[in-house]
Amino acid sequence: MSTTRLNKYIASSGLCSRRKADELIESGVVMVNGKKVTELGYGVQAKDKVFVNGKMIHPVKHEYYRFYKPAGYITTSDDEKGRKTIYDLLPENLHHLKPVGRLDRESTGLIILTNDGDLINELTHPSAKVPKLYKVSINGKITQDDINKMYKGIEIEQNKTAYAQVDVLDFDNNSTTMEILLYQGLNRQIRKMFEILGYEVVTLKRIQHATLTLEGLKRGEFKPIKPGQIKDLKNFLNRISSK
């Protein structure tokens, strides 16, 4: 009978990534058939009963969706302040899916939704440096000096330096529209960079995350990601992780 590594089994339940599963195993909160297991690499079979923090878990089928977030919604499943969330726009049968990264309330664009903990970790872990592309409009005409500053890095918080590659699409004295490429995921990174430089962000839309884009999506719409697209995404992540 085939066995599955315990961390993979836990990750396949959608609870967390394999890396986080290893931490849970080592911390002693995982039990298999009533026995505490702290051994990394422990193998489990389909008939085994696995508990994490006293709750039984089961492998689930992984689901993947693209969602075009409109402005006015926050990227969370629950908000203590009572603000509208993206889950107000999604049917209940998708409420178990988690967003890959976040967009602030007034930002729009692509959000990947999934229950694949490993994929979430691969796309968001700081060491991964997964590219994300945004279309941004600001008030005023950006200077080449400020574009250079964004490329070289701007300290947006103490000990936090943000970097961005800027490609100007259109500008005049009143506004600039550009594409901005990020390899980080710092909170409100683009807005903070422009605020420090003295500009105000008028619109901010994520148009691509790794290999996935907004193509074919209307604002507020969601669609399943095709198996071929998931395969391309995972191949891309494998390539950049091996560099």
**Does residue 175 share a domain with residue 152?**
yes
CATH code: domain of residue 172: 3.30.2350.10
Domain with 121 in it: what CATH number? 3.30.70.580
> Is there a single domain that holds both residue 121 and residue 229?
yes
Whether residues 138 and 98 fall in one domain? no
Cα 72 from chain centre: 19
- 122 and 79 within one domain: yes
Q: Based on the fold, state whether residues 177 and 225 are members of the same structural domain.
A: no
pTM of the model: 0.84
Q: Given pLDDT bands bounded at 50, 70 and 90, which one contains residue 141?
A: very high
Distance CA 169, CA 91 (A): 36
Residue 43 CA from chain centroid, whole number: 30
- CA distances to 27, 42, 113 from 83, rounded to whole Å, are 36, 43, 20
191/204 same-domain check: yes
Domain that holds residue 201: 132-209
User: For position 36, which CATH number holds?
Assistant: 3.10.290.10
Q: Chain-wide mean pLDDT for the chain?
A: 93
Q: How far apart are CA 201 and CA 192, in angstroms?
A: 9
Which of the residue ranges 80-84, 114-118, 210-214 would you say has the lowest mean pLDDT? 80-84
Same domain, 102 and 222: yes
Whether 120 and 222 map to the same domain: the answer is yes
Q: What does the pLDDT look like over 35-75, one tens digit per residue?
A: 999 999 899 998 999 999 999 998 888 999 999 999 999 99
Same domain, 119 and 215: yes
Shared domain for 19 and 68, answered yes or no, is no
- Is 172 catalytic? The answer is no
Catalytic one among 104, 118, 145, 146? 104
209 closest CA partner among 102, 89, 107, 136: 102
pLDDT of 1 above 80: no
Nearest to 73 by CA among 95, 98, 102: 102
Please give the Cα distance from 104 to 213 (Å, whole number).
18
Cβ 59 vs Cβ 70: under 8 Å: no
Claim to verify: residue 184 and residue 74 sit in the same structural domain: no
Domain count, the chain: 3
